[in-house]
Chain A
Amino acid sequence: MIEALGAFVPVAANTAFTQWRDEDDPLRKFFYQVVDQTDWKTAQEGNTTQGMYACASDGTLFGHTFEYDLETVLGVLRDATKEAAKHAAKKLDLRGAKPEPAPPEGTLVVSVYTRIDPLPEGASKDNAFVGRDHLWILHEEVDALRKGQFPKTLAMRLARFHLWDNTRGEPDAWTEEQVKKAAFGANGVLAGHATFTIGGTFSLAASAGKRSEDGRSLPEAGYEGKIEGEITFGKEGVTSFTLLATGEAWGEGTYTPGAPAGRFPLKVAFVLPAADDPTRGVPPQGVSDGLDEYLGR
Chain B
Amino acid sequence: MRRIALVLLLAAAAWAEEASLADRVKAVLPRPDEERWLSIPWRRDLLSAREEAEKAGKPLFLWIMDGDPLGCT
Chain A residues with CB under 8 Å of chain B are 1-2, 5, 7-19, 27, 30-31, 34, 48-58, 62, 77, 80-81, 84, 87, 89, 91-92, 94, 97, 99-100, 113-115, 117, 129-134, 166-170, 228-229, 242, 244, 246, 255, 267-269, 271, 278-279, 281-285, 288
A267 to B40, CA, bound (A): 28
Does B32 sit at the interface, judged by CB under 8 A?
Answer: no
Given A14-B64, A167-B73, 8 other A-B residues pairs in contact with their CB atoms under 8 A = A14-B65, A18-B46, A54-B60, A129-B73, A132-B72, A271-B25, A278-B41, A281-B44
Contact check, A166 vs B40: say whether CB atoms are below 8 A apart: no
Contact check, A279 vs B71: say whether CB atoms are below 8 A apart: yes
The total number of A-B Cβ pairs within 8 Å is: 205
Contact check, B67 vs A285: say whether CB atoms are below 8 A apart: yes
A sample of 5 cross-chain residue pairs with beta-carbon separation below 8 angstroms, ordered by A number, consists of: A14-B67, A48-B66, A92-B50, A117-B27, A169-B67
Residue of A nearest to B27 (CB): A117
Identify which of B27, B39, B59, B67 contacts A2 (C-beta below 8 A): B39
* Cβ contacts under 8 Å, A2 to chain B: 39-40
Contact check, B42 vs A50: say whether CB atoms are below 8 A apart: no
What 8 pairs across the A-B complex have the smallest Cβ distances? A269-B28, A282-B71, A57-B54, A12-B69, A8-B61, A84-B59, A57-B53, A9-B53
Contact check, B58 vs A9: say whether CB atoms are below 8 A apart: yes
Given A89-B54, A268-B28, A285-B67, verify A57-B72 contact (CB < 8 Å): no
Given A100-B45, A242-B25, verify A282-B68 contact (CB < 8 Å): yes
Q: How far is the CB of A56 from chain B (nearest CB, A)?
A: 5
Given A9-B60, A9-B61, A278-B38, verify A130-B28 contact (CB < 8 Å): yes
Residue of A nearest to B38 (CB): A278
Q: How far is the CB of A110 from chain B (nearest CB, A)?
A: 12
Given A130-B34, A132-B73, verify A11-B61 contact (CB < 8 Å): yes
* Cβ contacts under 8 Å, B46 to chain A: 11, 13, 17-18, 27, 30-31
* Cβ contacts under 8 Å, B63 to chain A: 10-13, 52
What 0/1 pattern do residues 29 to 51 of B give for CB contact below 8 A with A?
Answer: 11000100011111111110111
Chain B residues with CB under 8 Å of chain A are 21-22, 24-25, 27-30, 34, 38-47, 49-54, 56-73
Contact check, A13 vs B50: say whether CB atoms are below 8 A apart: no
Contact check, B71 vs A169: say whether CB atoms are below 8 A apart: no
Residue of A nearest to B18 (CB): A230
* Cβ contacts under 8 Å, A16 to chain B: 66-67
Given A9-B56, A31-B46, verify A15-B73 contact (CB < 8 Å): no
A7 to B58, CA, bound (A): 7
A9 to B38, CA, bound (A): 14
Contact check, A5 vs B73: say whether CB atoms are below 8 A apart: no
* Cβ contacts under 8 Å, B49 to chain A: 9, 11
* Cβ contacts under 8 Å, B53 to chain A: 8-9, 56-57
A50 to B60, CA, bound (A): 16
* Cβ contacts under 8 Å, B34 to chain A: 130
A45 to B38, CA, bound (A): 28
